[in-house]
Amino acid sequence: MRRSACHAGGHRAEGPANSRAASPQGRGEAVLISNDAANRDASKFTDPEEFDPERKPNLHLTFGHGMRVCIGANLARTELRIVFPALFRRFPHLRLAADLDDIKVIANQATGRLEKLPVMW
């Protein structure tokens, strides 16, 4: 399961200047949006730094929003609801074979990934 968004989107202000942001934007100025920062917004989430897949409501932006929503979001959610229970039924003793601190996250790509995920069962 992803704890971070798979992309950050760029937008241009098309209307009048935006004074709602922390730094007001003028008409036509580029705005870079960080879904990762939005997913950790303390005003929206209790314990925003904690991974909690059961969080309710879970208004994260990992799959985008509105006209920018990920076309595969529903498929991904369905796969996760099916895959993880099946995986743990098949391998009930499945666990990490390394310390969390030793698992390297490669974050310099559009989708991010783990270098490797050693497991044992």
pLDDT of 47 over the 90 cut: no
Contact status, residue 38 vs residue 65, Cβ threshold 8 Å: no
Query: Model confidence over 56-98: pLDDT tens digits?
Result: 887 777 788 888 888 998 998 899 899 999 999 999 999 999 9
Contact status, residue 64 vs residue 33, Cβ threshold 8 Å: no
Q: What is the pLDDT of residue 55?
A: 82
- Bridge partner list, 25: 18
pLDDT of 5 over the 60 cut: no
| pLDDT band, very low/low/confident/very high, at 25 (cuts 50, 70, 90) | confident
106-111 average pLDDT score: 73
Q: How many CB atoms lie within 10 A of CB 2?
A: 14
